[in-house]
């Protein structure tokens, strides 16, 4: 059976995502044009892996990439609010322009923790670019300088987003059928 059969409906097509990622890349180039140092994209694994790859290619300027892995979900569909850093940065970010690259802004609890942690390392600037922001889900205020799309409060997968490590490879973002993830 195809993984596409588990999708209730598609909310963002591959072409729509690609177009918006190009727009975000161009906006980042404009915003950091005066910087002599490359922007450091800090991708939050695993969900942001596809997004950061496409975003880096859309930034037609110097850019560097590093990765962090954090966990607050486990195998659940809801964040536990308890954040663990599973993989830290390889690079020192002091004095750097850092853009945290997220797949989805949901409750904001994980991102708040991560931003506080990164801010303590004294970057020149610290901003967030998220592919998706879930409508009405934030429990803590998070300022995202760059937002790809606002999406409804539904369980979405594809383009890096998963359920149980599956569906990341879908080229679009779709809503998973509820019977697939019923806890």
> pLDDT digits over 114-123, tens only?
999 999 999 9
Task: Write the pLDDT tens digit of every residue in 130-143.
Answer: 999 998 777 788 88
CA 15 to chain centre: 18
pLDDT above 80 (res 52)? yes
Asked, for residue 96, whether it belongs to a domain, the answer is yes
**pLDDT at residue 6, rounded to an integer:** 94
Mean pLDDT of the chain: 91
Q: Quick one: average pLDDT of 56-63?
A: 96
**pLDDT at residue 84, rounded to an integer:** 83
Catalytic residue among 8, 92, 106, 183: 106
Asked, for residue 143, whether it belongs to a domain, the answer is yes
Domain span including residue 76: 24-151
CA-closest candidate to residue 110, choices 31, 48, 55: 48
Asked, for residue 176, whether it belongs to a domain, the answer is no
Asked, for residue 161, whether it belongs to a domain, the answer is no
Asked, for residue 147, whether it belongs to a domain, the answer is yes
Q: How confident is the model at residue 73 (pLDDT cuts 50, 70, 90)?
A: low
Q: What is the CATH number of the domain that holds 70?
A: 3.40.50.2020
Task: Write the pLDDT tens digit of every residue in 5-32.
Answer: 999 999 999 999 999 999 999 999 999 9
Active site residue 15: no
- Number of compact structural domains in the chain: 1
Contacts of 146-151 with CB under 8 Å at 24 or more apart are 146/24, 146/27, 146/28, 146/99, 147/105, 148/17, 148/20, 148/21, 148/24, 149/12, 149/20, 151/11, 151/12, 151/104
Q: What burial letters (b/e) apply to 98-125, b meaning 16+ CB within 10 Å?
A: bbbbbbbbbbbbbbbbbbeebeeeebee
pLDDT above 80 (res 66)? yes
> What is the spatial distance between Cα 176 and Cα 156, in angstroms, rounded to a whole number?
6
CA torsion sign, 167 to 161 to 78 to 72? Answer: positive
**pLDDT at residue 1, rounded to an integer:** 66
pTM above 0.85, yes or no: yes
Q: What burial letters (b/e) apply to 130-158, b meaning 16+ CB within 10 Å?
A: bbbbbeeebeeebebebbbeebeeebbbb
């Amino acid at each position: 059976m195809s993984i596409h059969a588990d999708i209730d409906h598609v909310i963002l097509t591959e072409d729509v995502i690609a177009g918006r990622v190009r727009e975000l890349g161009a906006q980042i180039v404009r915003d950091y044009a005066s910087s002599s140092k490359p922007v450091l994209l800090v991708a939050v694994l695993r969900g942001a892996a596809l997004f950061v790859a496409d975003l880096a290619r859309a930034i037609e300027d110097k850019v560097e990439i590093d990765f962090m892995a954090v966990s607050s979900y486990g195998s659940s569909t809801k964040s536990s609010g308890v954040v663990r850093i599973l993989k830290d940065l390889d690079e020192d970010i002091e004095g750097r322009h850092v853009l945290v690259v997220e797949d989805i802004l949901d409750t904001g609890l994980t991102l708040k923790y991560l931003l506080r942690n990164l801010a303590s390392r004294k970057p020149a600037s610290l901003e967030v670019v998220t592919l998706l922001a879930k409508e009405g889900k934030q429990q803590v205020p998070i300022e995202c300088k760059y937002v790809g799309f606002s999406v409804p409060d539904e369980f979405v997968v594809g383009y890096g987003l998963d359920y149980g490590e599956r569906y990341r490879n879908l080229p679009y973002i779709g809503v998973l059928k509820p019977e697939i993830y019923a806890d």
